[in-house]
Amino acid sequence: MEKKKVLIVDDQNGIRILLMEVFGSEGYETFQAANGKIALEIVEKEPPDLVLLDMKIPGMDGLEILKHLKSMNPDIKVIMMTAYGELDMIKEATELGALMHFTKPFDIDEMRIAVNKQLRGD
């Protein structure tokens, strides 16, 4: 069975490394991107099953990246991460097709459970 792919998009290196370790140990193939440009290049080459996407990224913000992701693949699953209580942005992200969001600092177990639920249906 082919491994499910998880793409982690965050400008904070520590968060990318943490999430790659967590989801790698869950048996997923993980990819990381520090910005929108790299994220979209990865999506073209290695279409992920799920994207963990930070809302605040220098350059192209999370909503812009989300729009691009959905135009490339309308079925792609996206979970937003935000360090701020930006309710208007979260609402817009949901309208654009994000499944849910986690506010930083998030509970890593809750995120692991949410991702497993989306990708394995458990």
pLDDT, tens digit, 9 for 90 and up, residues 6-52: 999 999 999 999 999 999 999 999 999 999 999 999 999 999 999 99
Residue 79 tokens, joined: 């979970």
DSSP string computed for 72-120: H-TT-EEEEEESS--HHHHHHHHHTT--EEEESSP-HHHHHHHHHHHHH
Region 70-91: what's the mean pLDDT? 89
Cα→Cα distances 84→89, 108, 110, 120, 122, Å: 10, 17, 18, 29, 29
DSSP annotation of 26 reads: T
Per residue in 49-60, pLDDT (tens digit) is: 999 999 999 999
Average pLDDT along the chain: 94
When pLDDT is cut at 50, 70 and 90, the band that residue 2 belongs to is confident
**Could you give the percent of the chain with pLDDT greater than 90?**
86
Residue 23 tokens, joined: 């989801």
CB 55 within 8 A of CB 79: no
What SS3 class is residue 33? Answer: strand
Q: Say yes or no to pLDDT of 85 above 70.
A: no
What is the spatial order of strands in the sheet that 100-103 belongs to? 29-33, 5-9, 50-54, 77-82, 100-103
Per-domain boundaries in the chain = 5-120
Domain 5-120 grouped into CATH 3.40.50.2300: yes
